[in-house]
Amino acid sequence: MAMVDNDLPQLSHLDDYQRYGRQMVLDGFGLEGQLKLQNSSVVVIGAGGLGCPALQYLAAAGVGRLGIIDHDTVELSNLQRQILHTDKTIGSPKAVSAARAIAALNPRVNIDVCPTALDSSNALSILAPYDVILDCTDNAPTRYLLSDSAVRLRKPLVSGAAQKFDGQLCIYNLGDDGPCYRCIFPKPPAPEMAGSCEETGILGAVTGIIGNLQALEAIKLITGLHDGKASLLLFNALSVPPFRTVKLRSRKPTCAACGIEGQKIGAIEETDYVAFCGGARPDWLERGLEVSRPESRICVKELKSVFESNVNHTIIDVRPRTEFGICRLSRSTSVPLNILLANPAPYLPSDKSCQVFVLCRLGNDSQIAADAIRVIDSNLIVKDVVGGLRAWSNEIDPSFPVY
Ligand SMILES: Nc1ncnc2c1ncn2[C@@H]1O[C@H](COP(=O)(O)OP(=O)(O)OP(=O)(O)O)[C@@H](O)[C@H]1O
Ligand SMILES: [Zn+2]
């Protein structure tokens, strides 16, 4: 009978050879690659659109330890792309829901569940135990925090981003001279459309592609299959070919985080990343509910009474045309916010007794639109609808679609 070579290192369980055989037979991977995965650890920040597919493939491939950090809970609108969560886990912490799903997929993986928001007070201690960090979040303060922490901890950061039909992938802090996020984006983007009611939109398969690539890059890093060159990968689902790669230079000597000449950022624990990125998003919904100028606003109950009366009125819906095409109130007219702001005049009634009600999804954009209309015609009665179509659905007509 043939004897097993006891000098050869072994996977923890005999059936692991079957489970991982299809990847172990790959040139350059082998038993050595699988052992490296078994002994490795990856932390995934964000168990959303990017984090779910990334976690799924890391777990299936046999990464020994996975950390899952997410402070949020599962919502119905997440399920179109956050594929570890299900109808049954709506309302549960995403970190817990994702952990359950990957434990079912591969029970051998050790999972650390952390249903907490990563911030400057806890980042270094949470991230320190892991070999590779995956940024699967969706906001600038966390991106800077993760990059600075990765520099400080000397760990590679596999960063993904996805929006609409587009995706981006980059490994920051790669090797001895790979750039960090600050080398490439020294300043945060202008605070984007804070509080806007428009949904940016995302195709689930796009987050799936980028999340999978994040898992792949982590596996390449751990198993030694990565060529060590830093590049930025850009994806657009509607372009042919859909992928483009931009080579990245090495670290910037002047970078505030990783450069030798840089004016170093202070202690991460004391840095205010939210302030650096332009401050917290104003809570427009709340602002909308504190009716500061009651005569200039209308609530959905009053709007319903208007519909049931003979009051002469018109409804302007300022959502983007695609959203207007999804659902709308009958007798409303579509004038997207950008078009209305450019020139409101053509959309206003000439009859000054006709009241104008301005409507949007959540009640923020309609305030901006109503203000713009008042500027050009102070004689008109213009009111924005508090809480927008979301309030209409919640308070007046439960059959009205919410998105
Ligand atoms: N600082 C942070 N700490 C922990 N988790 C974070 C942090 N920042 C973002 N996240 C998580 O990253 C995930 C990003 O995923 P994604 O954008 O797909 O989901 P989402 O925030 O639920 O989207 P939606 O805009 O539909 O609410 C979210 O689950 C979010 O809670
Ligand atoms: Zn840098």
Give the pocket of ligand 1 (CB within 6 Å). 45-49, 69-72, 77-78, 82, 94, 117-118, 137-139, 142
**Per residue in 204-229, pLDDT tens?**
999 999 999 999 999 999 999 999 99
Q: What is the pLDDT of residue 194?
A: 52
**Cα gap 394→318, rounded to integer Å:** 20
The H-assigned helical ranges of 237-395 are: 273-276, 284-289, 300-308, 321-326, 337-342, 365-376, 388-391
Cα 155 to middle of ligand 2, angstroms = 13
Check whether 77 is labelled as a binding-site residue: yes
Q: What is the mean pLDDT of the chain?
A: 93
Cα 49 to middle of ligand 1, angstroms = 8
Percent of the chain's residues with pLDDT above 70 = 94
Check whether 70 is labelled as a binding-site residue: yes
| Among candidate residues 14, 71, 20, 21, the one with its CA nearest the CA of residue 48 | 71
**Per residue in 125-175, pLDDT tens?**
999 999 999 999 999 999 999 999 999 999 999 999 999 999 999 999 999
Cα 53 to middle of ligand 2, angstroms = 28
Beta strands of 292-379 (E only): which ranges? 297-298, 313-317, 332-334, 355-359
pTM for this entry: 0.89
Check whether 255 is labelled as a binding-site residue: yes
Check whether 367 is labelled as a binding-site residue: no
Type of residue at 156: P
Looking at the CA of 119, which ligand is closest? 1
Check whether 81 is labelled as a binding-site residue: yes
Looking at the CA of 82, which ligand is closest? 1
Cα 48 to middle of ligand 1, angstroms = 6
Q: Is the peptide bond before 241 cis (omega within 30 degrees of 0)?
A: yes
CB-based contact 313:357 (threshold 8 Å): yes
Cα 205 to middle of ligand 1, angstroms = 17
Atom of ligand 1 nearest to the CA of 137: 12
SS3 38: helix
Phi, psi values for residue 359, rounded to 5°: -130, 145
Atom of ligand 1 nearest to the CA of 77: 26
**Per residue in 191-203, pLDDT tens?**
655 556 677 899 9
Residue identifier of the C-alpha nearest atom 16 of ligand 1: 48
Determine how many CB atoms are found less than 10 A away from the CB of residue 123.
25
**Per residue in 8-65, pLDDT tens?**
899 999 999 999 999 999 999 999 999 999 999 999 999 999 999 999 999 999 999 9
Contacts for 265 with CB less than 8 Å, ≥ 6 apart: 148, 256, 257, 271
Q: What is the pLDDT of residue 290?
A: 45
CB-based contact 313:354 (threshold 8 Å): yes
Token pair of 105, please? Answer: 């997929």
Looking at the CA of 203, which ligand is closest? 1
As a whole number, mean pLDDT of residues 293-302 equals 85
Residue identifier of the C-alpha nearest atom 15 of ligand 1: 48
* Helices 30-38 & 204-223 angle (0-180, nearest 10): 110
Bridge partners of residue 246, in order along the sequence: 232
Atom of ligand 1 nearest to the CA of 145: 1
Quickly tell me which residue has 């689930």 as its tokens.
204
For the chain, the C-alpha Rg in angstroms (whole number) is: 26
Ligand 2 is an ion; residues with CB less than 5 A from it = 180, 182-183, 255, 257-258
**Per residue in 73-104, pLDDT tens?**
999 999 999 999 999 999 999 999 999 999 99
Token pair of 219, please? Answer: 């596996």
Atom of ligand 1 nearest to the CA of 72: 31
Token pair of 259, please? Answer: 């450069």
Phi, psi values for residue 156, rounded to 5°: -70, 145
Looking at the CA of 135, which ligand is closest? 1
Residue identifier of the C-alpha nearest atom 19 of ligand 1: 48
Token pair of 274, please? Answer: 């939210």
Catalytic residues: 197, 360
Contacts for 275 with CB less than 8 Å, ≥ 6 apart: none
Q: Which range (117-126, 253-262, 335-344, 394-403) has the least confidence?
A: 253-262
CA distances (Å), origin 67, targets 55, 113, 250: 9, 6, 29
Cα 263 to middle of ligand 1, angstroms = 31
Burial 309-346 (b: 16+ CB within 10 A, else e): eeeebbbbbbbbeebbeeebbeebebbbbeebbeebee
pLDDT over threshold 80, residue 262: no
Residue identifier of the C-alpha nearest atom 27 of ligand 1: 78
